[in-house]
């Protein structure tokens, strides 16, 4: 990947910047995964993919089903919808 980046002119003396996903942030909506009692926000269920990345259940369902992208939004590892949700078209429980 460094060779490809250098070929298109994206290269610095420090090297290629690395991506880093905060563990408490949903990579789909960029909101906090868990909201504490002192913070304002909606409490949502979360789902951890086989790759280890965690998202709001509603966000990852939308990413995979509505967006027709059956890969992790962050690392692009294949997502098994049947393993994620027994019935993916069932309406998720929202508070």
Q: What is the mean pLDDT of residues 47-61?
A: 88
Q: What is the pTM for the complete model shown?
A: 0.63
- CATH topology classification for 19-95: Herpes Virus-1 (3.30.40)
Regarding predicted confidence, which is higher, 15 or 80? 80
Quote the Cα angle for 13-11-52, to 5°.
105
Task: Dump the DSSP string for 23-37.
Answer: TTB-TTT-SBSS--T
List the one residue out of 51, 50, 47 whose CA is nearest residue 61.
47
Q: How confident is the model at residue 36 (pLDDT cuts 50, 70, 90)?
A: low
Residue with tokens 């610095």: 12
State residue 83's pLDDT score: 75
Indicate if the pLDDT at residue 61 is higher than 50.
yes
Indicate if the pLDDT at residue 34 is higher than 50.
yes
State residue 92's pLDDT score: 56
- Segment 3-13, tens digit of pLDDT: 666 666 666 65
What is the Cα–Cα distance from 11 to 53, expressed in whole angstroms?
28
Domain residue spans of the chain: 19-95
State residue 95's pLDDT score: 45
């Amino acid at each position: 990947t460094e060779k490809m980046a250098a070929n298109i002119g994206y290269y610095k003396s420090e090297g290629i910047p690395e991506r880093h996903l905060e563990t408490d942030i949903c990579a789909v909506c960029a909101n906090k995964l868990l909201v504490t009692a002192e913070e304002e926000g909606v409490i949502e269920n979360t789902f951890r993919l086989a790759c280890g990345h965690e998202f709001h259940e509603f966000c990852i369902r939308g990413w995979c089903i509505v967006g027709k992208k059956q890969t992790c939004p962050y690392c692009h590892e294949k997502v098994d919808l049947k393993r994620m949700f027994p019935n993916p078209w069932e309406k998720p429980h929202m508070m």
